[in-house]
Every structure is written in structure tokens, then in C-alpha cells.
């Protein structure tokens, strides 16, 4: 269901409602609930005025670390000319340490932790939050880090398709003990717009490529440096070469469920990750803290430029 028209989808149908910019939730049980507690955000429909708090949100940026999402908020406030010298950006989810959330103007910034289960819980509650707040025309971007394949470290990859470890563009989830396969298609036009923004910035290399989403950082990503490893360096290189041939240019751990859930809820979505290393050359992150920090600012600079462009803000304040 979406707020414009309240049409219902039969249970089990995996289509979104395409409700012209409205956020879509496909859960008839929500209708009969007098209160919806967004437990991991420490927010709720009877304790908070969600339309008043969030109704103007047009851009949501999500990323793994709470610290990075606070720093994104400070950055975007400057870029949009919304800095209030007396303002601290309070963590809207201060009552819980699960996720952190910040808001400046029409931009919401939310942390999601590491891996598919963590981001999936956050997204269920974020999608309901946007729905309850009656938001429309929202764009969501995941900004993150990744391991590159055949790319210079520091290259930014805008995801074309999020693929699984067999290089298929879908996510298989188990619901009531049965496999449910969901599409991980992302918004092609948005990916192209972000690529164009990167070219306009001209500060780093940027490409569009497939992103492999794995269930862990070590064996799932063919690393040789985990606590366990049952394959050789040659096996690893063969697997990465196969991934490259399938169009994979980077590897991370959240894009598939992010893409699938945004698609189901009619959210325009993109994934923008910087590569911290070239996985064909190594597994460990050996670059200095300063270099890695610089790399991590690239996705936020790109999204900042995109948001400014959309809001028609041309100069830094
Ligand atoms: N994040 C990942 O998932 N993998 C990497 O190699 C680097 C960051």
C-alpha cells in the first residue's frame, strides 16, 4: 500500500505499487496496528509525530558507520548552506545504540552497520518511517567502502547491478522456510546521473560496474587472511577473474538487500562505494589511515554534489 490511494496488493505478490513517488509497503497487517514501534530506531507512530519530523525528507543517505553518517551530515549541511553555528546535529536515535540517524533540511543520514541482516532490519524500519511520514519522491543512496577488482584503489564504483556470489542479479531470502528470490535491480538513470556528477567533480576516478554482495568479509570475498581458508592463492585469483569477466568491479556486503528492498518500496536507489584496495593484489588494508580516510570522503562528496545539483544550489556557502 502507498499513501496516494491506499490500494492493497494480494499477500505474496512481490511487485511494488508504482504509486507515483509514494513510498510503498506491502503488508496488510500494518493497517490493523494502532501503533507501530520502530524499535531499533527508538521511534514510534504514537510517541513521535513522524510526518512533522520527517515529512520533508527527499534524500536518504545510508552507510555502515554511525561516525561516518554524522560526518556526512556535517558535510552536507555546509554544502547546502544550512549550517547553524549553534547547532549540534543530534542523533535522532539517541535512545538506542543500534543505528544512528541525523537530519539536515531534506537530507536524512542513517547508519546501517555491517552485512545484510543489519542493513535489512534498518531498511524495514526506515521504509515504514518514510511511509508513516508520508514522504514522496525520495532518493536513497548507500555510500560505502568495498574491495575493488582490477581498479586503482580510491576508484568510486556506482553499482549497475548488485550480484550474488554466483554473479546473479538477485537476492535469495528464506521466508517461512521457503526461498524467495528478489530482484536487485537499481535505478539506471540515477546511476548515470551520479557518474556524470563524478565527472563534473573531476576529483577521482569513477566508473559504473557490477557489485558483488557477499555474506562475509573473509571467505565470502575469497580472502586468504581469515581465521579459516581451504583454498589456494590460485583458486582465489581464478574466482576474482571469473567475477571480473561477469562485470564485477567491486565487492561489499550490503548492496543486494538494499537494492531489493528499495525496489519493492518504490524508492529510487543507488549504491556508491569507493574501493579501498585491489583484491587481485592483496587482502589486507595496508594504506595509511589518512589515505583510507580520504578515499572514504569520495562517495559523500559525490552524493553532496548530486543533492546540490538536484536542489539547484550552485555555490558552496
Ligand atoms: N568492504 C568489503 O566488504 N570488502 C573490502 O575488501 C573492503 C571493504
Nearest to 213 by CA among 171, 254, 272, 262: 254
Atom of ligand 1 nearest to the CA of 253: 3
Residues 153, 276, single domain; the answer is yes
Residues 51, 151, single domain; the answer is no
Residues 218, 96, single domain; the answer is no
Nearest CA to ligand 1 atom 5: 147
Q: What is the mean pLDDT of residues 221-231?
A: 98
pLDDT band at 238 (very low <50, low <70, confident <90, very high): very high
Q: What is the mean pLDDT of residues 262-267?
A: 96
What gap in Å lies between CA 27 and CA 217, rounded to an integer? Answer: 33
Mean pLDDT lowest among 10-14, 245-249, 286-290, 312-316: 10-14
| Residue 62 counted as domain residue | yes
DSSP 236: H
What gap in Å lies between CA 277 and CA 287, rounded to an integer? Answer: 8
User: Does 98 count as an annotated binding residue?
Assistant: yes
Q: Is the pLDDT of residue 136 over 60?
A: yes
pLDDT band at 18 (very low <50, low <70, confident <90, very high): low
Report the pLDDT value the prediction gives residue 17, as an integer from 0 to 100: 53
Residues 83, 152, single domain; the answer is no
Residues 87, 103, single domain; the answer is yes
Residues 295, 192, single domain; the answer is yes
Q: How many domains in the chain? A: 2
Q: Is the pLDDT of residue 317 over 50?
A: no
| Residue 266 counted as domain residue | yes
Mind listing the pLDDT tens digit for each residue in 152-192? 999 999 999 999 999 999 999 999 999 999 999 999 999 99
- DSSP of 117-171: HHHHHHHHHHHHHHHHTT-BS-EEEEEEEEEESSS-TT-EEEEEEEE-TTS-SEE
149 with 280: CB under 8 angstroms? Answer: yes
Residues 160, 77, single domain; the answer is no
Atom of ligand 1 nearest to the CA of 147: 6
How many Å lie between the centroid of ligand 1 and the Cα of residue 252?
Answer: 5
Residue 316: how many other CB atoms lie within 10 Å: 10
| Residue 11 counted as domain residue | no
| pTM to 2 decimal places | 0.94
Q: Is the pLDDT of residue 77 over 60?
A: yes
State which of 72, 104, 137 marks the end of a domain.
137
Pocket (CB within 6 angstroms of ligand 1): 145-147, 217, 221, 251-253, 276
Q: For residue 216, what is the domain's CATH number? A: 3.40.50.1580
DSSP 9: P
How many Å lie between the centroid of ligand 1 and the Cα of residue 217?
Answer: 6
| Residue 316 counted as domain residue | yes
Q: Is the pLDDT of residue 92 over 60?
A: yes
| Residue 121 counted as domain residue | yes
Residues 111, 181, single domain; the answer is no
Report the pLDDT value the prediction gives residue 84, as an integer from 0 to 100: 78
Q: Is the pLDDT of residue 8 over 50?
A: no
How many Å lie between the centroid of ligand 1 and the Cα of residue 11?
Answer: 36
Residues 236, 289, single domain; the answer is yes
The helix or strand, by DSSP H or E, that contains position 70, with its residue range, turns out to be helix 66-79
Q: Is the pLDDT of residue 13 over 50?
A: no
Mind listing the pLDDT tens digit for each residue in 188-209? 999 999 999 999 999 999 999 9
Residues 111, 159, single domain; the answer is no
Q: Is the pLDDT of residue 12 over 60?
A: no
State which of 137, 169, 198 marks the end of a domain.
137
State which of 137, 168, 187 marks the end of a domain.
137
The C-alpha cell that represents 16 in the structure block: 511494488
How much of the chain exceeds pLDDT 70, in percent? 92
Q: Rounded to the nearest 10 degrees, how much is the dihedral formed by the CA atoms of 258, 261, 61, 58?
A: 160
Report the pLDDT value the prediction gives residue 30, as an integer from 0 to 100: 94
What backbone phi and psi angles, to 5 degrees, belong to 290? Answer: -65, -45
Q: Is the pLDDT of residue 218 over 80?
A: yes
User: Does 143 count as an annotated binding residue?
Assistant: yes
Q: Is the pLDDT of residue 236 over 60?
A: yes
68 with 296: CB under 8 angstroms? Answer: yes
* SS3 state at 10: coil
Residues 249, 272, single domain; the answer is yes
* SS3 state at 183: strand
1 with 17: CB under 8 angstroms? Answer: yes
pLDDT band at 243 (very low <50, low <70, confident <90, very high): very high
Ranges assigned E (strand) in the chain: 37-38, 43-44, 59-63, 101-104, 107-111, 139-148, 156-163, 170-175, 178-183, 206-213, 248-252, 268-278
Q: What is the mean pLDDT of residues 6-18?
A: 46
Q: What is the mean pLDDT of residues 9-32?
A: 71
Range of the domain at 174: 145-317
Report the pLDDT value the prediction gives residue 75, as an integer from 0 to 100: 95
| Residue 268 counted as domain residue | yes
Residues 252, 227, single domain; the answer is yes
Amino acid at each position: 500500500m502507498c499513501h496516494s490511494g491506499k490500494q492493497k496488493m494480494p499477500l505474496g505478490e512481490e511487485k511494488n505499487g508504482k504509486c507515483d513517488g509514494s513510498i510503498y509497503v506491502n503488508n496488510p497487517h500494518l493497517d490493523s496496528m494502532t501503533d507501530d514501534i520502530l524499535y531499533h530506531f527508538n521511534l514510534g507512530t504514537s510517541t513521535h509525530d513522524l510526518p512533522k519530523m520527517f515529512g520533508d525528507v527527499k534524500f536518504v543517505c545510508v552507510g555502515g558507520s554511525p561516525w561516518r553518517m554524522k560526518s556526512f551530515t556535517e558535510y552536507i549541511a555546509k554544502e547546502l548552506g544550512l549550517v547553524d553555528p549553534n547547532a549540534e546535529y543530534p542523533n535522532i536515535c539517541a535512545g538506542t545504540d543500534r543505528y544512528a540517524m541525523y537530519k539536515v533540511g531534506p537530507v536524512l543520514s542513517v547508519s546501517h552497520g555491517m552485512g545484510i541482516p543489519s542493513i535489512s532490519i534498518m531498511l524495514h524500519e526506515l521504509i515504514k518511517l518514510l511511509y508513516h511520514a508520508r514522504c514522496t519522491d525520495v532518493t536513497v543512496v548507500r555510500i560505502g567502502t568495498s574491495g575493488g577488482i582490477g581498479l586503482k584503489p580510491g576508484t568510486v564504483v556506482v553499482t549497475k547491478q548488485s550480484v550474488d556470489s554466483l554473479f546473479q542479479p538477485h537476492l535469495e531470502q528464506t521466508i517461512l522456510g521457503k526461498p524467495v528470490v528478489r530482484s536487485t535491480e537499481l535505478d539506471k538513470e540515477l546511476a548515470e546521473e551520479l557518474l556524470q556528477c563524478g565527472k563534473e567533480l573531476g576529483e577521482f576516478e569513477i566508473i559504473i560496474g557490477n557489485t558483488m554482495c557477499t555474506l562475509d568479509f573473509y571467505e565470502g570475498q575469497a580472502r586468504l587472511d581469515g581465521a579459516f581458508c581451504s583454498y589456494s592463492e590460485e583458486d582465489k585469483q581464478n574466482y576474482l577473474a571469473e567475477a571480473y569477466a561477469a562485470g564485477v568491479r567491486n565487492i561489499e556486503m550490503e548492496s543486494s538487500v538494499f537494492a531489493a528492498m528499495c525496489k519493492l518500496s518504490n524508492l529510487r536507489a543507488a549504491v556508491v562505494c569507493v574501493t579501498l584496495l585491489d583484491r587481485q593484489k592483496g587482502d589486507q588494508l595496508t594504506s595509511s589511515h589518512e589515505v583510507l580516510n580520504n578515499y572514504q570522503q569520495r562517495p559523500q562528496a559525490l552524493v553532496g554534489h548530486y543533492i546540490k545539483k538536484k536542489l539547484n544550489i550552485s555555490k558552496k556557502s
